[in-house]
Structure formats: C-alpha cells, structure tokens
C-alpha cells in the first residue's frame, strides 16, 4: 500500500481504495470540472469586451475600468482562496464547488442591474468570492484521480476551460454587442429599462445558477496518502514549515508563473481595446474573430503543453513542468512583441494564433507542478497559495499596469500598443529568469517529498 504512515496514525486509504478510478469516470469528472471552469471564465472575461460602453455610460477612465477587471475581482478571490483551500483539504470538494458556482453566477447577473461604478465594483467583489471556491478543490480532486505520469495532461485539460471560456466570452459577447448595436435600451421584466451591456451580464450569469448541480453527478475521489491524524486538516504551521523547506521552489514557481499571468491578463483585458483603437476594428468583429482563435489555439496550447510535460517526465526530466513553462514564456515574448507592433489588423490577427497558443501553454503545467511536490493533505492549501500569488500579480497588476501607462505615462488612450509592449515584455523576461532559476530547486523538492514524514 502506497499511503504514508506515522507511528500513531493509520492511513485513510485501503488496498482496495488505492486503485485509481476507472479512466472513463476520472475523465468524466475532468469534463464536468472543465465545463464549470469555462463558465467561470466567461463570467470573468466578458467585461473586457464591453469596456467602451461601460466607460461611456458610467463616465469612468481606463484606470477605473481596469480596477473592475482586476482589483475588484482579485481582492476577495485571493482573500477567500486560502481558507477555501483549507476546506478543500478536509471537506466535501463537490459541495464547495457547487456553492461557489452558484454564488459567482448570481453576482455576475447582478452586475446587470448596477446603476453606478460602486455597485458594479461590489458585484465584481462577489464574483471573486465565488470563483475562489473552484480551482483548489478541482486540482485536489483531479490529483486524487490520476497517477503522476498522467497528471499534467489531466490538469491541462481542466485548465483549457480558461481559454474556451475566454474565447466564448469574446465570441458570444461580440455577437451580442453586434445585435445590440442598433438599440439603445431594452425593456426587461422586473428590471425594466436595461442597457445592452447589462443584458450581456444577465445572459452569461444566470445559466450558472444551476450549473453547479453537475457536481453531484460525480463521486468524491478517495484522498490518497492521507493519515487518520490529518483527516481534519493539517495544522497551518506544518504547511508553512513544508513551504519553508521548499521556499526556493515556491518563490521561483509562484512568482515566475505569476509574471506570465500578469502579461496574459494585461493582454486579455486590453487586446479588444487595442484592436479597436489602433486598427479600427469593431467590438463585434473582434469578439467573433479573436474569440474563435483564442478558444482553438489557447485550448491546443494548454493541452499540448501538458502532454509535452508528461512526455518529458516519462523520460526522466524531474523539472518537466517548469521546463515547459520556460519554453512557453520565450514563445510568448516573441509573438507578444510581434502582435502589438503589427502594422495592420490582418497581420495582428495572423500573429494572434501562436500568441494564444504560447500564452495558454504555461498554466496547466504550473498547476500540475504544484500538485506534484505537495503531500496530499496540503494540496488544496498549496493550490490556494499559488492562486493567491498568481492572481495578485496577474489580475491585480496586469490590467491596471496597462491602464496606468495609458492614463499617467503616455496620457493617451491611443498609445495602448506601447503600454502593452512595455508591460508584457518586462513581465515575460522576468518570468523566464525565475522559471530558469527554479529548475534545480523543483527537482530537489520532488526528492524531498519522498522522505517527508510530516
């Protein structure tokens, strides 16, 4: 039996339970989690496509809109992420996800009744609370359902929900914006006169109120390698001690992937405005074209990276997830620079496919890397810590860094291509340095885990 033991504690798992779920059941679970993740990113990303009408109607600046994209969401997302990660290590992960899904969907829909900046800001805070419930529990469930040599692929498939969701947000948003362009207001039951951008929030938020029920069509996976002494959760001091022992790995991993997230969130938030202001595209055209590209190329990138990481791992590369993340960052730097300097919209569109591919590639392997170096009973908390750092850096700083360059450095919204170039290139170069520095410590952390006895 593979479970770790201590002198006064029995393993929770048994020989019979040590068998992983049948592949069909494990992949069905991944499918359900991916669908929910898709909806979470539609709710999160839709704001980027309706920047201009919200700015006009609420009379706010680029920097204020960036706070709705980043800080308002990430503040509660990160604040609640770590306690919800602790719950994921000992309580029903299915229920945590189901309740979170209902909450973020409700708060997205409520953005549609917001009448001023403060109201929509508070609703975005609520979206962050709900979404904080998802990934720590999802990563933990997937890690208990797949062997290590298949884990990067499984988590990458789940993580492709980011790019399907963001792509659909662009695509569906573009279609709706196009349909709504000819009408100033809608008259809806109960809420009355409603602006087109408010209708979009209703359309993407309300379906999610029932989506969380899908979680009860799957079985809670057996927690592997957990002793009875830890069935109610590992003390926080023990988690901190383990992190301290592996601090070089945590610093290089979390900050490295956080800086990649900064560049991709900056782009995801402002690429629609870039194509509108620099190349004269309409919002509807951007949504349909770029949404389709992002959904396809982003999904391909994240899954391919997971498969490549598993391939390297099988051939003895202990640092495979970080190595793949490093390679992807170099591709992101190349195509990200070319995209914002493109002389016209057609060339920018052609470059966007490889940009989306390499921009997506790091994030499945990043999560898999964290799961692989953690004891089972710490995985939810480690995921929450990783999500905390990545979102503080990525979502908290990415959108606002570009907006601050627009408003306070160039003092010109039409200088957005240069703001994107500066923010993206600096973040990507630093990310590559952190990931390169983390290769050796990560391999050492894998070896250290084999001898860890809590």
Sequential DSSP letters for 185-229: -EEETTTEEE-HHHHHHHHHHTTHHHHGGGGGGSPPPPPTT-BGG
* Neighbour tally for 217: CB within 10 Å: 10
| Cα–Cα distances in angstroms (integers) from residue 75 to residues 79, 122, 138, 377, in the given order | 6, 11, 21, 26
In a domain, 379, yes or no: yes
In a domain, 285, yes or no: yes
**C-beta of residue 244 within 8 angstroms of C-beta of residue 383:** no
Q: Give CA–CA dist 242/230, Å, rounded.
A: 15
In a domain, 230, yes or no: no
Contacts of 401 (CB under 8 A, 6+ apart): 262, 266, 419, 423
Q: In 3-135, which ranges are E strands?
A: none
The CATH number assigned to the domain holding 257 equals: 1.20.1250.20
SS3 9: strand
List phi, psi (to 5°) of 219: -95, 140
Contacts of 91 (CB under 8 A, 6+ apart): none
Structure confidence at residue 183 (pLDDT): 62
**C-beta of residue 301 within 8 angstroms of C-beta of residue 361:** yes
CA dihedral 117, 123, 125, 131 (to 10 degrees): -140
Structure confidence at residue 435 (pLDDT): 97
Q: In a structure prediction context, what are the per-residue pLDDT tens digits for the chain, which is 454 residues long?
A: 333 333 343 334 444 445 688 889 999 999 999 999 998 888 887 887 777 788 888 888 888 888 888 777 777 777 787 788 778 877 889 999 999 999 999 999 999 888 899 999 999 888 888 888 888 889 889 988 988 778 888 888 898 888 888 888 888 777 766 665 556 677 777 777 778 788 888 888 888 888 989 999 998 888 876 554 444 556 778 888 888 889 999 999 999 999 999 999 899 889 988 999 999 998 888 988 999 999 999 989 998 998 999 899 888 898 999 999 999 999 999 999 999 999 999 999 999 999 999 999 998 899 888 888 888 778 777 777 887 888 889 888 888 899 999 989 999 989 999 999 999 999 999 999 999 999 999 999 988 887 765 5
CA contacts within 13 A on the Cβ side of 432: 13
In a domain, 228, yes or no: no
* Neighbour tally for 358: CB within 10 Å: 25
**C-beta of residue 301 within 8 angstroms of C-beta of residue 309:** no
Task: Report pLDDT digits (tens) over 71-107.
Answer: 777 777 777 877 887 788 778 899 999 999 999 999 9
Structure confidence at residue 297 (pLDDT): 95
Q: What is the pTM of this model?
A: 0.75
In a domain, 229, yes or no: no
Task: Report pLDDT digits (tens) over 130-145.
Answer: 888 888 889 889 988 9
The count of domains in the chain is 1
Residues 245-261: b if buried by 16+ CB within 10 A, e if exposed: ebeebbbbbbbbbbbbb
In a domain, 222, yes or no: no
Structure confidence at residue 225 (pLDDT): 62
Where in the sequence is the domain holding 192, given as residue range(s)?
23-216+235-450
Cα 208 from chain centroid (whole Å) = 18
Nearest residue to 92 via CA among 221, 212, 183? 221
In a domain, 9, yes or no: no
Contacts of 246 (CB under 8 A, 6+ apart): 373, 441, 445, 448
Nearest residue to 4 via CA among 227, 176, 219, 214? 227
In a domain, 223, yes or no: no
């Amino acid at each position: 039996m593979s479970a770790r033991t201590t002198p006064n504690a029995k393993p929770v798992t048994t020989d019979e339970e040590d068998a992983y779920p049948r592949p069909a059941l494990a992949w069905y679970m991944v499918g359900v989690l991916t669908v929910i993740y898709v909806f979470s990113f539609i709710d999160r990303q839709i704001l980027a496509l309706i920047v201009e009408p919200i700015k006009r109607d609420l009379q706010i600046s680029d920097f204020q809109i960036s706070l709705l994209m980043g800080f308002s969401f990430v503040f509660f997302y990160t604040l609640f992420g770590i306690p919800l990660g602790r719950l994921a290590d000992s309580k029903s992960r299915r229920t945590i996800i189901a309740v979170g899904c209902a909450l973020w969907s409700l708060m997205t829909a409520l953005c549609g009744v917001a009448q001023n900046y403060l109201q929509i800001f508070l609703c975005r805070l609520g979206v962050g609370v709900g979404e904080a419930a998802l990934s720590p529990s999802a990563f933990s469930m997937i890690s208990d359902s797949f062997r290590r040599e298949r884990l990067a692929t499984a988590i990458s498939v789940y993580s492709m929900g980011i790019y399907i969701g963001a792509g659909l947000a662009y695509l569906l948003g573009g279609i709706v914006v196009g349909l709504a362009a000819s009408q100033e207001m809608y008259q809806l039951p109960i809420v009355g006169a409603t602006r087109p951008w408010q209708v979009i929030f209703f359309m993407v938020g309300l379906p999610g109120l029932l989506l969380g029920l899908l979680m009860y069509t799957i079985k809670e996976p057996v927690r592997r390698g957990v002793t009875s002494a830890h069935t109610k959760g590992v003390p926080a001091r023990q988690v901190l001690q383990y992190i301290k022992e592996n601090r070089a790995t945590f610093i290089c991993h979390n900050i490295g992937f956080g800086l990649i997230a900064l560049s991709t969130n900056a782009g995801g938030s402002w690429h629609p405005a870039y194509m509108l202001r620099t190349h004269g595209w309409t919002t509807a055209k951007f949504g349909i074209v770029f949404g389709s590209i992002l959904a396809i190329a982003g999904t391909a990138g994240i899954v391919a990276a997971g498969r490549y990481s598993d391939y390297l791992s099988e051939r003895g590369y202990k640092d495979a997830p970080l190595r793949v993340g490093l390679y992807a960052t170099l591709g992101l730097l190349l195509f990200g620079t070319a995209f914002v300097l493109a002389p016209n919209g057609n060339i920018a569109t052609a470059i966007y496919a490889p940009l989306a591919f390499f921009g997506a590639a790091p994030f499945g392997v990043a999560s898999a890397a964290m799961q692989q170096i953690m004891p089972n009973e710490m995985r939810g908390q480690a995921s929450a810590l990783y999500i905390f750092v990545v979102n503080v850096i990525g979502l908290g700083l990415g959108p606002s860094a570009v907006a601050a360059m627009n408003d306070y450095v160039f003092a010109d919204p039409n200088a957005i291509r240069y703001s994107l170039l500066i923010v993206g290139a600096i973040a990507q170069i630093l990310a590559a340095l952190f990931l390169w520095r983390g290769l050796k410590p990560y391999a050492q952390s894998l070896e250290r885990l084999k001898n860890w006895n809590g």
